[in-house]
Structure 1
Amino acid sequence: MNINFKMLNFTRLTTKNNLSKQCSNWFRFRSYATQKRFYRRTDIVQNEKKWEITLDHRRLKTPNGQVLMVNAEPLARAIAAEWDAQRDYISQPTMHLTALCNTALDNPGKLNSHDIASYLLDFIATDTLLFYSEQEKLRALQEEKWDPVLEWFCKRFGVKQEVSKNLELPPVTTETRAILARYFLSYDFAALNAMCFGVEALKSPMLMLACVDRYIEPKDAVLLARLEEEFQLSHWGRVPWAHELNQAELTARVAAALLVIHSSSERHSAAVKKSQDKSV
């Protein structure tokens, strides 16, 4: 195993632990009790400017008892479809949209947008795309696949970002942090919570930002995040069902995060545009 990645994982774990002090359930795997499906049909209803999901005409609620309400109809329909896809038993770990919306509404860690933005900014220095292998063939592959994303990131945000050249983390300038802080804080809490979820899945803020900006697709981002693993598997072989399942799960996580983010940002853009039209 590359020594750089040992340090990378240690640093990332330390950062996660710091955030976990504020939220004991933040990004942790939890055991879910098996629950039999208790409803026949799902639907959505509009409540003023928001949307609710119903199970046999009963309002879906969060673990803390709040009515689960979202700002966009497509997101509400996707959540309803998530519940409708459950068969004899409800598999909560596969219901990423429901989990993201529950967390945003209940906010069990009592976090705010600045807490999440700070966490994402600290994550930049440990981004997977900033750590190249010392193995010649793998490094050549990483440069071929990762460099375009890094170039896009620098051009998109007007910054310069170095990659790691030794065991130390690459520097992230104050200017870069300030630009990204403004970008992150332009999203609401639900979108930031979802962005964090996607970043954790990919182990890369840059890949997640590229997905948000529609520069790359979620499935491509997952392949780039797993580039070293895929390289090793091409040499040593794979267990098809296991690795394909893992890839599908990561893609589902990123796609769910993107749906929440885009639903939030597109609603905001539409509201701003409508306001501008009225003032003309």
Structure 2
Amino acid sequence: MMNSDNDNNEDESTAAIFDLARNRSLDEQVSHPGREKRKLPKRFYKKAEAGPHEEGHAILLDGRAVKTPSKRPLAVPVLALAEAVAAEWEAQKDEIDPRSMWLTKLANTAVDLVAPRREAVIDELATYAGTDLLCYRAEHPDVLVARQAALWDPLLAWAAEKGIAFTSTSGIVHVAQPEASLEAYREALRALDPFRLAALHNAVTLTGSAILGLAVTLGRIAPEEAFDIAHLDEHWQMELCGHDEEEAARLAVRRSELLETGRFIRLLG
């Protein structure tokens, strides 16, 4: 029988582990991971592995399927991804630290927050695209202006080839993007499954650019390149003002998650 009180408690445990992370904003999670001073749950299982599921591939703890925070089965479409998520669970020591489980977080997000509301997520991302980082350029100095043009213009040209033609400007005054371009962006997102869409959402949040997020998701550029392009201004400031340890640490955490987001996408095949 699979419905004992102990079994139910284990179901509650796997669902509850990520509840806090789900309810915090993504920016809080990636910008200040060390702020979370809470007691971590104890590891309650001996073995984590991937296994077959009617919706794809499940993550099994001692043979029982992991649940998402919304109590749905954590099932992913590709075995390689399921094995990588299971490896995160297997790597946990005496305590389970969700902050070390980026792939699990993204899979939870896809199942709980993206799949049930795909069109709403797409609309959110299209709204974000209306203020894309790559469209707002420095007015000076000339060296920074040239760097932005060299790194950002090719990506805008790539997007324009897909019908996503965005207008750029100097300074911070808002420039409205053509509705046809925003609709083309929506159409590009509609071609993505919930898992790739969740990864894209993460990439957009971490880079500040809907175009960079799409480029990473479609394999146009590597995550590490996207991160450097997105944080060109911060690196420029460090060149001028010297190394800032706190800022460097914050960027390192965000870079790490973007790399894991890229890994998530690659595992999807």
What TM-score comes out, normalization by structure 2 length? 0.78
Q: Give the conservation status (yes or no) of the 8 Å contact 2:136–2:171.
A: no
| Equivalent residue, structure 1, for 2:59 | 53
Of 246-255 and 128-137, more deviation after overlay is shown by 246-255
| Equivalent residue, structure 1, for 2:220 | 215
Unaligned stretches of 5+ residues in structure 2: 1-21, 30-35
> SS at 2:28's partner residue?
coil
**Change beyond 3 A, Cα 1:94–1:41:** same
- In structure 2, C-alpha distance between the alignment counterparts of 1:70 and 1:182, rounded to whole Å: 23
| Equivalent residue, structure 2, for 1:135 | 140
Of 216-225 and 206-215, more deviation after overlay is shown by 206-215
> SS at 1:88's partner residue?
coil
Q: CA deviation at 1:28?
A: 6.1
| Equivalent residue, structure 2, for 1:65 | 71
Q: CA deviation at 1:259?
A: 4.6
- In structure 1, C-alpha distance between the alignment counterparts of 2:92 and 2:57, rounded to whole Å: 21
Q: In the TM superposition, what whole-angstrom CA distance separates every residue of 1:109-166 from its partner, at most 9, and x where no partner exists?
A: 99611111111111112211111112212222211222222222222x1343211235
Decide which of 100, 113, 116 is 1:94's aligned counterpart.
100
| Equivalent residue, structure 2, for 1:80 | 86
> SS at 1:145's partner residue?
helix
- In structure 2, C-alpha distance between the alignment counterparts of 1:226 and 1:166, rounded to whole Å: 17
Q: In the TM superposition, what whole-angstrom CA distance separates every residue of 1:183-209 from its partner, at most 9, and x where no partner exists?
A: 111223333233212111111111111
Correspondences of 1:108-187 after superposition (within 5 Å): 112-136=117-141, 137-155=143-161, 157-187=162-192
Let me know the Cα RMSD of the aligned residues.
2.7
**Change beyond 3 A, Cα 1:110–1:220:** closer
Whether 1:39 and 2:45 are equivalent positions in the alignment is yes
**Change beyond 3 A, Cα 1:29–1:239:** closer
**Change beyond 3 A, Cα 1:115–1:245:** same
- In structure 2, C-alpha distance between the alignment counterparts of 1:56 and 1:110, rounded to whole Å: 27
- In structure 2, C-alpha distance between the alignment counterparts of 1:198 and 1:48, rounded to whole Å: 29
Q: Give the conservation status (yes or no) of the 8 Å contact 1:75–1:259.
A: no
Q: CA deviation at 1:106?
A: 2.9
Unaligned stretches of 5+ residues in structure 1: 1-22, 267-280
Q: In the TM superposition, what whole-angstrom CA distance separates every residue of 1:80-134 from its partner, at most 9, and x where no partner exists?
A: 1222232333221232221122233233x99611111111111112211111112
Of 245-254 and 123-132, more deviation after overlay is shown by 245-254
